[in-house]
């Protein structure tokens, strides 16, 4: 039971990140390797507003989300928009450089200490043999609501139909009057905002460290690729699948021994490699659809 609870917690965080990645790849066909740093921006700004400044948690969360969206917009204008139409690999290089710059700025501003948005004792709830905090329950519920809202926007609103039309055929969408430039900017900002929300998730549930960005990014990309590049729901399912593998790797005995926690991520990524050798397009990869 505890493994299932841990899977829901870890998978919910990864699903939020992977949703943003799938949106950006599905619409822009670029990889953003600074997304983990966007998550740290959201988490650290929320920590700064709640702890040093003493503002209420909802105000801090709103501030972190707004700051994450702002950094995403600036990053798109500086590191993505000038390059992504010239060659698909140029944004890969520019966002790697951006991630290093943001890493340095985060360490300079917030120092290298671990930070936690909530420092008070957490209220624990027993669900059978499993233990979960009230904060974790709220985060899981929020993830379900957020993913449901994303599904509704994509499939029941005009902006969602425009996104899907652009994914299906960008030139045809432009000929119908859909502004791809504006849509690309909007999708990139949404992706960064989702990353900021995920960073706040980490800061509330665990601790923030300045070197966490790369690890966050790699796990999110593993879910994106395993689910099928650009397939939002494939990425979400793969997020929980990877989380389940990680929990099983260290949560049960293998040949009479427990694997050290440090192997948790490695085992999951190794199985992803095996999966891609068998099915290179990912679990739900398709040639033309993404949602």
pLDDT in tens, 151-172: 888 888 888 877 777 766 666 6
What does pTM read for this prediction?
0.88
DSSP 261-278: GGGHHHHHHHHHHHHHHH
pLDDT tens per residue across span 37-47: 999 999 999 99
Of 91-100, 191-200, 253-262, 272-281, which range is least confident?
253-262
Closest CA to 33 of 226, 216, 269, 203: 216
CATH class name, domain 2-278: mainly alpha
> Which tokens in the block code for residue 147?
């993913």
Mean of the pLDDT values across residues 242-271?
A: 77
Distance CA 106, CA 22 (A): 26
Distance CA 251, CA 154 (A): 37
Of 9-13, 77-81, 172-176, 275-279, which range is least confident?
172-176
Closest CA to 288 of 248, 247, 229: 229
Burial of 135 (0-12, 13-18, 19+ CB in 10 A): middle
The pLDDT-based confidence of 29 (bands split at 50, 70, 90) is: confident
Contact present, 196 and 68 (Cβ < 8 Å): yes
Of 28-42, 57-71, 165-179, 239-253, which range is least confident?
165-179
């Amino acid at each position: 039971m505890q493994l299932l609870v841990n899977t829901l917690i870890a998978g919910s965080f990864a699903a939020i990140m992977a949703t943003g990645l799938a949106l950006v790849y599905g619409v822009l066909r670029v990889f953003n390797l600074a997304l983990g740093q966007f998550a740290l921006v959201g988490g650290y700004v929320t920590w700064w507003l709640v702890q040093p400044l003493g503002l209420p948690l909802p105000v801090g969360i709103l501030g972190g989300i707004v700051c994450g969206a702002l950094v995403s917009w600036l990053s798109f204008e500086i590191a993505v928009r000038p390059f992504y139409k010239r060659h698909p690999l140029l944004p890969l290089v520019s966002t790697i450089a951006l991630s290093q710059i943001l890493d340095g700025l985060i360490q300079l501003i917030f120092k290298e200490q671990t930070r936690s948005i909530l420092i008070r004792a957490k209220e624990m709830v027993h669900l059978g043999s499993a233990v979960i905090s009230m904060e974790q329950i709220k985060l899981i519920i929020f993830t379900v609501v957020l993913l449901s809202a994303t599904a509704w926007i994509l499939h029941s609103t005009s902006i969602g139909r425009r996104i899907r039309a652009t994914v299906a055929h960008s030139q045809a969408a432009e000929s119908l009057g859909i502004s791809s430039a504006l849509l690309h900017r909007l999708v990139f900002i949404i992706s960064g905002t989702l990353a900021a929300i995920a960073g706040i998730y980490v800061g509330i549930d665990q601790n923030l460290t300045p070197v966490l960005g790369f690890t966050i990014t790699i796990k999110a990309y593993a879910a994106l690729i395993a689910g099928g590049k650009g397939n939002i729901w494939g990425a979400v399912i793969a997020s929980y699948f990877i989380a389940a593998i990680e929990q099983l790797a260290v949560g049960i005995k293998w040949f009479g021994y427990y694997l050290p926690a440090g192997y948790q991520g490695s085992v999951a990524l190794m199985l992803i490699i095996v999966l891609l050798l068998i099915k290179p397009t990912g679990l739900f990869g398709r040639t033309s659809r993404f949602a």
